[in-house]
Amino acid sequence: MSESVNLLGLDAPALAGLCAGWGEKPFRARQLMRWVHQRGEAEFPAMTDLARSFRERLGSHARVQAPEVLRDHRSADGTRKWLLDVGAGNAVEAVFIPEAQRGTLCVSTQAGCAVNCLFCATGKQGFSRNLDAAEIVGQLWLANKALGAAPGGERVVSNVVFMGMGEPLQNYAATLAALRIMLDDNAYGLSRRRVTVSTSGVVPMIDRLRDDCPVALAVSLHAPDDALRDELVPLNRKYPLAELLAACERYLARAPRDFITFEYVMLDGVNDSDAHARALLAIARRVPSKINLIPFNPFPHAGLRRSPDERVRRFGSVLLEAGIVTTVRRTRGDDIDAACGQLAGEVRDRTRLAERDARRIPLVEVRT
């Protein structure tokens, strides 16, 4: 069984290839995809409209296996968070955020992260490993099963954001396969505008994503000039702002929306002055964009503070008054310690694999 292939990570061509190798027609692969992703079926014997020989072959060579749920938390505001085991003492989180008009699932792509942004506890953990496509898609598979269907029969998860732990564009192959599965009509059928990849700015991979699978793009900007961004997002030293913004402009030619979402974490006394707001405004005038201000979520030894509410408002008004769509991300799920990464930290500590506290971002309302 250990050599079996996990079907959760196979996109349509890969699944068709697997089935073709067994002499099965292409439509059988599509049928299988629907069983796995649309009906959430993990047991091959239950896939009754597939030939018995096919089911037996699947039973000996394939499996449908999502990451194991270590904890399942529900918040009073409806937010739900799953802590998932991804092996060797590593855990990641997936978070579901219900809103009136949609339900957003926030997925992780890596255990830890190598980018090491100054304000991010996941970065402070260091990089452990990339998730594979099955582990990324498995988060959506699990959420759909756990949440069931809405009263109208439609799926509860209407949007997916790649904003959990990890830098998706530093785990490109798995992220791309996962995106293709999420968009596939025989799987989850999400439209490109309802799936958002968030990146700290891996410029060459922004171009590849535009060519391979242009979904909605969020870029973690956090600073309007290179000197400051070099400090906050160390990847900026490799791909400075001018290159990043040029990549954003190139992306827009194919993007499913006509804007990029710029994320900007609000750090007291660091990046939150009116002068910073005006510099950010100049960027937003150049690149069609919406700005999402994220009040910093503190964690132990971060050495940083969240900007006061009034400062966030003032900062936002500089942008709003100039006609830039600006939103402030709302914290959700506080009562279940929805700070992503926190529980992962507890598990790591318990297994003595990491000493550092891993508190990170709050559960948030994501406006894209």
**Which spans of this chain sit near ligand SAH (rule: CB under 6 A)?**
117, 119-120, 163, 167, 198-200, 220, 263, 265, 294, 296-297, 360-361
CA angle 282, 286, 289 (to 5 degrees): 95
- 19, 117, 213, 340: the catalytic one is 340
Position of tokens 């974490």? Answer: 265
**Complex with ligand SAH: residue 82 or 296, whichever CB lies closer:** 296
Choose the one of ligand SF4, ligand SAH, none that binds residue 361, judging by a C-beta under 5 to 8 angstroms depending on kind: ligand SAH
Indicate the helix (H) or strand (E) that contains 92.
Answer: strand 91-98
Position of tokens 């029969």? Answer: 153
**Complex with ligand SAH: residue 31 or 196, whichever CB lies closer:** 196
SS3 30: helix
State both tokens at 113: 């992260």
Cβ(86)–Cβ(98) below 8 Å: no
Q: How far is the CB of 222 from ligand SAH (least distance, A)?
A: 6
| Catalytic residue check, 213 | no
**Complex with ligand SF4: residue 113 or 221, whichever CB lies closer:** 113
State both tokens at 141: 């598979």
The residues of the shown chain that bind ligand SF4, judged by CB under 6 A, are: 113, 115-117, 120, 122-123, 166-167, 200, 220
Residue type at position 118: L
**Complex with ligand SAH: residue 186 or 200, whichever CB lies closer:** 200
Q: Angle of helix 203-212 relative to helix 241-252, nearest 10 degrees?
A: 10
Q: How far is the CB of 5 from ligand SF4 (least distance, A)?
A: 29
Cβ(365)–Cβ(332) below 8 Å: yes
- 93, 167, 263, 346: the catalytic one is 93
Choose the one of ligand SAH, ligand SF4, none that binds residue 163, judging by a C-beta under 5 to 8 angstroms depending on kind: ligand SAH
Q: How far is the CB of 316 from ligand SF4 (least distance, A)?
A: 21
Q: How far is the CB of 297 from ligand SAH (least distance, A)?
A: 4
**CA-based nearest residue to 291, from 272, 319, 256, 271:** 319
SS3 71: strand
Q: How far is the CB of 265 from ligand SAH (least distance, A)?
A: 5
Indicate the helix (H) or strand (E) that contains 13.
Answer: helix 12-21
C-alpha 350/C-alpha 72 separation (Å) is 18
Choose the one of ligand SAH, ligand SF4, none that binds residue 316, judging by a C-beta under 5 to 8 angstroms depending on kind: none
Position of tokens 């957003």? Answer: 104
| Catalytic residue check, 321 | no
Choose the one of ligand SAH, ligand SF4, none that binds residue 134, judging by a C-beta under 5 to 8 angstroms depending on kind: none
Choose the one of ligand SF4, ligand SAH, none that binds residue 201, judging by a C-beta under 5 to 8 angstroms depending on kind: none
C-alpha 239/C-alpha 200 separation (Å) is 10
**Complex with ligand SF4: residue 201 or 333, whichever CB lies closer:** 201
Residues with a known catalytic role: 93, 340
